[in-house]
């Protein structure tokens, strides 16, 4: 049986659908709402909330999950089975069936559906799992003696963290034959390369508490995972996953671009596999919106790309070429994963851009690396110093793991602690130098004064800007006062939106609120988080806070301005994705009353045309005055509607969505306009880079945009007055002025040039000569190197046969120029040697070509005549001087 990978996907899904499993599409490669993972690493990631749930929406599921793992990156290419990107086939039960069904169905699938040879299948179980061992021996026709008991390391899956569901597992192995490990012991599962693990059945049947105790789950589940690449290897009879129909087209493509010069076969095979594997991972990661960067998942992807680029260089492939392999990935996988085709332009452009960027420093970095290795080997060291590893990272862009890999190839290790120390020192320097910093809680550590008991900080600011409240507690700080209320209309700084400002008023006092923050309480019995109103007393004092209820008033103008900017960021995000591509992801924002700032992933500067298109899209939506749709619903419902969630943000079961129908839908807890028309006007004021693969836009809305427009018009009117033309003719007049200026400069240059030629002709009139040879030694007045060279050209052309030395003072520094005609060069008079000797008199040096060369004497202007005398003496000696003409 030689089923294609596409057919294997179909067979697996249909098999479990026929057994009551819901087919669930692959979740995104970037986990949604799970800050514990950089990438989706297994099929069960999207199902974690369903394990232990009282009433899950469905109790059986089957999926083919896209996964990305960097944990085994050092083994990529060296083994027949490890990959960075892989597809995981999985069936799942959430409190429904358990071991009996999981084992029976797994056996039925491998024996009946894909018809694997029973003689080559082995199974492992946890050494305490008598139930699983019994089921394999009694419920299937697995050959006797083929169940191997292993310990926790191989067959127990812990919780995703220190607590949670966990349990034993059972794994299916394929016997590759004795040739795969000639010295291996028969049945040595998990030890010998002879046995390939291809399907893992996990039985979550315990709950582990904080003390490590495991109690049985009331509703145990099933979580299985089978690598499609490994299944394809077995079914297709391939010697490695790289020879299956999943990766063979990529391998062939790499071979086509690589010259493969002077490489041993083993090294060539490893390099080709690494490139094929890594480019596949890059294409899927970029399609998911990941852009190579310096932090988090961006760093992982940049590391993968640079490993592939280095291997491509070793293979002799042209640079850049990885994007050409990415084209094959898109073509080969596009029908199954259409997001690749939809992101084709971004995948190719980002891959090409990043490879070119790395290529600019790769040669210099490799030269420095080799020098460090040579220094270590010369002194007998076996470890690259951490400071040098950091230099390769900082100056040449070498990820530390790439340096470690290259060092290992040279039989060396790296000083990781030393590298980390250097990195920490750099981060500390950066933090000290950065203009923006996180403000520490004011008055931290000072005691709170408790005025009332009960829950606090219930946010009512979506419905009202003014309400009466009770003070729960307060504390005095060096900057003023901090107050916590039972309920509040003040929005606390969160999600990029700044905290509200306003006033707290009561009998005998008034507090100006300058900021509102969410803070973790530091006193006994307080809730985990509270809205802290920071400010100062305009009248009264702390003692007055206990007299009466407080009227909390948010500044309506500042709140309205903030709302305009916040809704505008949602429009901007959607417009960026529309104009630049769906790889654009929000990477940070600042929403304040007077401006907005939006950071996003993108690989190039936003062009003027793109900027105009973005502004036009946003303002068109503003003009439509579309009502903003605000809903509170379950997280799953929001995601099913297509709501965009931000990585790293933690979302509960109930979430708030902000939608502009037909244009934008995001999860967001901030305050927003009722309709897009409230924004008034949107205007971009700046665009810049904030890091590799990261851009920043700054913009204004409403009155801020109006003020900017009026300011720009005022400047335009001022320019019109200066130029003496109406506003509409300013651009034409400026072009005319620039043209006139250029013509004047050209005339001035011509006049200066004419003056140079006249000076040279005067010097030629004083030339000394021999039988047919002449030479000139003179000082001329020029103000640029170009004019000095022009003078030299004119002198050489008119000497006909001979040599000359010219000197000039430019910007307080002495310059020399020497020339020689072809016939005197043949007799041994060279301009480069002549100028070097002349400049040396003034303490300088020089060089160039035999027919023309330049030198410098620095600021030794007083030695210019002595230098010229030396030149005259040399020429008289070498040419032999006769009578003057």
**Range from 402-416, 659-673, 696-710, 718-732 carrying the lowest mean pLDDT:** 402-416
Quick one: pLDDT band at residue 651, thresholds 50, 70, 90? low
How many beta carbons lie within 10 A of that of residue 457, not counting itself? 22
User: Which residues contact residue 175 at a Cβ distance below 8 angstroms, ignoring those fewer than 6 apart?
Assistant: 119, 120, 121, 122, 194, 195
DSSP string, 91-128: EEESSS--HHHHHHHHHHIIIIIS---GGGEEEEEETT
Quick one: pLDDT band at residue 438, thresholds 50, 70, 90? very low
Q: How far is CA 649 from the centre of its chain?
A: 18
Q: Using one digit for the tens of pLDDT, what is the confidence trace for 22-50?
A: 999 998 898 865 667 889 999 888 887 77
Which residue, among 619, 643, 624, has the nearest Cα to 633 in the 3D structure? 643
Predicted local confidence at residue 627, as pLDDT: 96
Predicted local confidence at residue 145, as pLDDT: 93
Distance CA 373, CA 381 (A): 9
Q: List the structure tokens of 290.
A: 């990941």
Q: Decide: residue 594, CB within 10 A, 0-12 exposed, 13-18 middle, 19+ buried.
A: middle
Angle formed at CA 32 by CA 27 and CA 37, multiple of 5 degrees: 95
Strand bridging mode 694-701 / 768-769: unpaired
More confident residue, 88 or 45: 88
Mean pLDDT of 352-361: 85
Strand partners, 418: none
Q: How far is CA 534 from the centre of its chain?
A: 36
φ, ψ of residue 22 in degrees (nearest 5): -80, 130
Strand partners, 149: 125
Quick one: pLDDT band at residue 652, thresholds 50, 70, 90? low
Given a cut of 50, is residue 885 above it in pLDDT?
A: no
Q: Are 774 and 799 in contact (CB under 8 A)?
A: yes
User: Which residues contact residue 445 at a Cβ distance below 8 angstroms, ignoring those fewer than 6 apart?
Assistant: 522
Which residue, among 647, 681, 644, 679, has the nearest Cα to 659 in the 3D structure? 644
Q: Are 495 and 538 in contact (CB under 8 A)?
A: no
Q: Using one digit for the tens of pLDDT, what is the confidence trace for 254-294?
A: 999 887 667 788 889 999 999 999 999 999 999 888 888 77
Distance CA 787, CA 479 (A): 65
Predicted local confidence at residue 650, as pLDDT: 56
Given a cut of 80, is residue 14 above it in pLDDT?
A: yes
Q: List the structure tokens of 288.
A: 């998911």
Lookup result for tokens 């929005």: 491
Which residue, among 219, 217, 88, has the nearest Cα to 163 in the 3D structure? 217
Half-sphere CA count of 293, side-chain side, radius 13 A: 22
Distance CA 393, CA 400 (A): 6
What one-character DSSP code corresponds to residue 760? Answer: H
How many beta carbons lie within 10 A of that of residue 318, not counting itself? 11
How many beta carbons lie within 10 A of that of residue 114, not counting itself? 17
Mean pLDDT of 745-761: 73
Distance CA 595, CA 498 (A): 11
Distance CA 412, CA 376 (A): 9
Angle formed at CA 557 by CA 552 and CA 559, multiple of 5 degrees: 65
Mean pLDDT of 430-439: 38
Given a cut of 90, is residue 170 above it in pLDDT?
A: yes
Q: Are 350 and 603 in contact (CB under 8 A)?
A: yes
Predicted local confidence at residue 741, as pLDDT: 87
Distance CA 217, CA 666 (A): 36
DSSP string, 626-667: PBPEEEEEEHHHHHHTT-B--TT----SEEEEEEETTTEEEE
Predicted local confidence at residue 485, as pLDDT: 95
Distance CA 734, CA 727 (A): 12
% of the chain at pLDDT higher than 70: 92
More confident residue, 243 or 650: 243
Which residue, among 786, 783, 771, has the nearest Cα to 882 in the 3D structure? 771
Q: What crossing angle do the helices spanning 400-409 and 386-396 adopt, rounded to 10°? A: 120
Given a cut of 50, is residue 221 above it in pLDDT?
A: yes
Q: Is the dihedral of CA 272, 276, 278, 279 positive or negative?
A: positive
Q: List the structure tokens of 869.
A: 């005398």
Q: Does residue 200 have a cis bond before it (omega within 30 degrees)?
A: no
φ, ψ of residue 575 in degrees (nearest 5): -65, -40
Q: List the structure tokens of 261.
A: 């010069």
Quick one: pLDDT band at residue 432, thresholds 50, 70, 90? very low
Helices (H) and strands (E) in the chain, counts: 23, 36
Distance CA 645, CA 643 (A): 6
Distance CA 359, CA 365 (A): 10
Given a cut of 70, is residue 646 above it in pLDDT?
A: no
Predicted local confidence at residue 883, as pLDDT: 39
Which residue, among 447, 489, 487, 483, has the nearest Cα to 464 in the 3D structure? 489
Distance CA 621, CA 448 (A): 48
Q: List the structure tokens of 331.
A: 């073509």
3-state secondary structure of 818: strand
Mean predicted lDDT score pLDDT of the chain: 88
DSSP string, 328-380: HHHHHHTTT-THHHHTHHHHHHHHHHHHHHHHHHHHHHHHHHHHHHHHHHHTT
Q: Using one digit for the tens of pLDDT, what is the confidence trace for 481-531?
A: 999 999 999 999 988 899 999 999 999 999 999 999 988 654 444 335 799
Distance CA 695, CA 181 (A): 51
Strand partners, 629: 659
**Length of the chain (residues):** 885
φ, ψ of residue 167 in degrees (nearest 5): 170, 175
Q: List the structure tokens of 684.
A: 């971009």
Q: Are 867 and 879 in contact (CB under 8 A)?
A: no
More confident residue, 263 or 114: 114
Strand bridging mode 85-93 / 222-227: antiparallel
What one-character DSSP code corresponds to residue 52? Answer: T
Lookup result for tokens 């490890």: 82
Highest-pLDDT range among 291-305, 319-333, 738-752: 319-333
Give CA separation, 459 vs 143, 309, 455, 475, 516, in Å.
65, 52, 12, 21, 12
For 271-290, give one letter per residue: b (16+ CB within 10 A) or e. Answer: bbbbbbbbbbbbbbbbbbbb
Given a cut of 80, is residue 214 above it in pLDDT?
A: yes
Distance CA 597, CA 24 (A): 37
Q: List the structure tokens of 280.
A: 């596949």
Given a cut of 70, is residue 435 above it in pLDDT?
A: no
pTM given for the model = 0.63
Distance CA 418, CA 390 (A): 8
Mean pLDDT of 623-650: 82
Distance CA 850, CA 832 (A): 5
How many beta carbons lie within 10 A of that of residue 580, not counting itself? 22
**Range from 164-168, 568-572, 830-834 carrying the lowest mean pLDDT:** 164-168
């Amino acid at each position: 049986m030689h089923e294609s990978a596409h057919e294997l996907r179909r067979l697996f899904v249909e098999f479990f659908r026929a057994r009551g499993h819901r087919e669930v599409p692959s979740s995104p490669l970037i986990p949604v709402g799970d800050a514990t993972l950089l990438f989706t690493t297994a099929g069960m990631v999207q199902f974690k909330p369903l394990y232990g749930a009282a009433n899950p929406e469905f109790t059986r599921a089957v999926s083919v999950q896209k996964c990305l793992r960097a944990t085994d990156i050092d083994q990529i290419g060296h083994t027949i089975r490890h990959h960075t990107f892989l597809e995981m086939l999985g069936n799942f039960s959430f409190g429904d069936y358990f071991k009996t069904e999981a084992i029976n169905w797994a056996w039925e699938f491998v024996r009946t559906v894909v018809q694997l040879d029973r003689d080559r299948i082995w199974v492992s179980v946890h050494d305490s799992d008598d139930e699983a061992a019994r089921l394999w021996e009694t419920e299937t026709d697995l050959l006797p003696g083929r169940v191997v008991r292993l310990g926790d390391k191989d067959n127990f899956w812990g919780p995703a963290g220190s607590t949670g569901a966990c349990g034993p597992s059972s794994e299916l192995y394929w016997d590759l034959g004795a040739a795969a490990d000639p010295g291996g012991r028969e049945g040595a599962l998990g030890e010998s390369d002879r046995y390939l693990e291809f399907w893992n059945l996990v039985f979550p049947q315990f709950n582990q508490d904080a003390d490590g105790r495991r109690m049985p789950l009331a509703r145990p589940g099933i979580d299985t995972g089978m690598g499609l690449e490994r299944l394809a290897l077995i079914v297709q009879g391939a010697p490695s996953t790289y020879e299956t129909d999943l990766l063979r087209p990529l391998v062939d493509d790499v071979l086509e671009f690589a010259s493969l010069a002077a490489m041993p076969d083993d090294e060539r095979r490893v390099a080709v596999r690494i490139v094929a594997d890594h480019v596949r991972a890059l294409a899927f990661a970029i399609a998911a919106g990941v852009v190579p960067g310096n932090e988090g998942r961006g760093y992982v992807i940049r590391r993968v790309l640079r490993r592939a680029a280095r291997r491509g260089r070793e293979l002799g492939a042209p640079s850049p070429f990885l994007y050409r392999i990415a084209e094959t990935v898109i073509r080969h996988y596009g029908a199954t994963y259409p997001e690749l085709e939809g992101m084709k332009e971004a995948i190719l452009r980002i891959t090409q851009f990043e490879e070119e960027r790395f290529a600019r420093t790769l040669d210099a970095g490799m030269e420095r690396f080799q020098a460090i290795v040579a220094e270590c080997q010369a002194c007998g060291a076996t470890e690259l110093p951490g400071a040098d590893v950091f230099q390769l990272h900082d100056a040449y862009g070498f990820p530390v793991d790439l340096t470690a890999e290259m060092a290992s190839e040279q039989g060396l290790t790296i000083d990781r602690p030393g590298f980390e120390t250097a990195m920490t020192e750099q981060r500390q320097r950066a933090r000290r130098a950065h203009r923006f910093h996180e403000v520490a809680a004011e008055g931290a550590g000072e005691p709170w004064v408790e005025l009332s008991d009960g829950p606090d900080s219930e946010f009512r600011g979506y419905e009202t800007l003014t309400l009466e409240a009770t003070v729960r507690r307060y504390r005095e700080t060096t900057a003023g006062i901090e107050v916590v209320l039972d309920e509040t209309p003040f929005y606390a700084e969160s999600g990029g939106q700044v905290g509200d400002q306003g006033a707290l008023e009561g009998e005998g006092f008034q507090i100006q609120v300058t900021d509102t923050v969410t803070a973790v309480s530091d006193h006994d019995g307080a809730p985990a988080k509270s809205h802290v109103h920071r400010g100062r007393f305009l009248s009264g004092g702390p003692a007055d806070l206990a007299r009466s209820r407080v009227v909390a008033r948010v500044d309506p103008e500042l709140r309205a301005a903030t709302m305009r900017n916040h809704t505008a960021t949602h429009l901007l995000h959607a417009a960026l994705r529309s104009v630049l591509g769906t790889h654009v992801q929000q990477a940070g924002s600042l929403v304040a009353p007077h401006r907005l700032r939006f950071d996003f992933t993108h690989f190039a500067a936003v062009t003027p045309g793109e900027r105009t298109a973005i502004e036009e899209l946003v303002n068109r939506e503003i003009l439509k005055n579309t009502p903003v749709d605000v809903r509170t619903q379950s997280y799953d419902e929001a995601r099913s509607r297509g709501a965009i969630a931000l990585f790293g943000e933690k979302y509960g079961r109930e979430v708030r969505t902000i939608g502009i129908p037909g244009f934008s839908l995001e999860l967001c807890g901030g305050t927003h306009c009722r309709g897009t028309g409230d924004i008034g006007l949107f205007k971009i004021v700046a665009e810049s880079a904030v890091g590799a693969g990261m851009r920043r836009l700054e913009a204004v809305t409403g009155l801020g945009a109006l003020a900017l427009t009026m300011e720009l018009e005022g400047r335009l009117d001022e320019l019109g007055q200066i130029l003496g033309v109406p506003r509409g003719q300013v651009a034409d007049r400026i072009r005319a002025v620039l043209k006139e200026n250029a013509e004047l400069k050209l005339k001035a240059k011509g006049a200066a040039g004419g003056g140079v030629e006249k000076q040279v002709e005067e010097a030629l009139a004083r030339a000394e000569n021999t039988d047919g040879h002449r030479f000139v030694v003179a000082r001329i007045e020029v103000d640029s190197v170009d004019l000095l060279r022009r003078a030299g050209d004119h002198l050489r052309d008119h000497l006909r046969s001979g040599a000359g030395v010219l000197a000039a003072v430019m910007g307080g520094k002495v310059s020399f120029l020497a020339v020689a005609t072809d016939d005197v060069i043949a007799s041994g008079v060279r301009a480069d040697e002549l100028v070097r000797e002349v400049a040396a008199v003034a303490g300088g040096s020089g060089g160039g070509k035999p027919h023309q060369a330049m030198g410098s004497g620095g600021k030794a202007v007083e030695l210019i005549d002595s230098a010229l005398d030396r030149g005259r003496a040399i020429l008289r000696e070498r040419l032999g001087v006769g009578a003057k003409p």
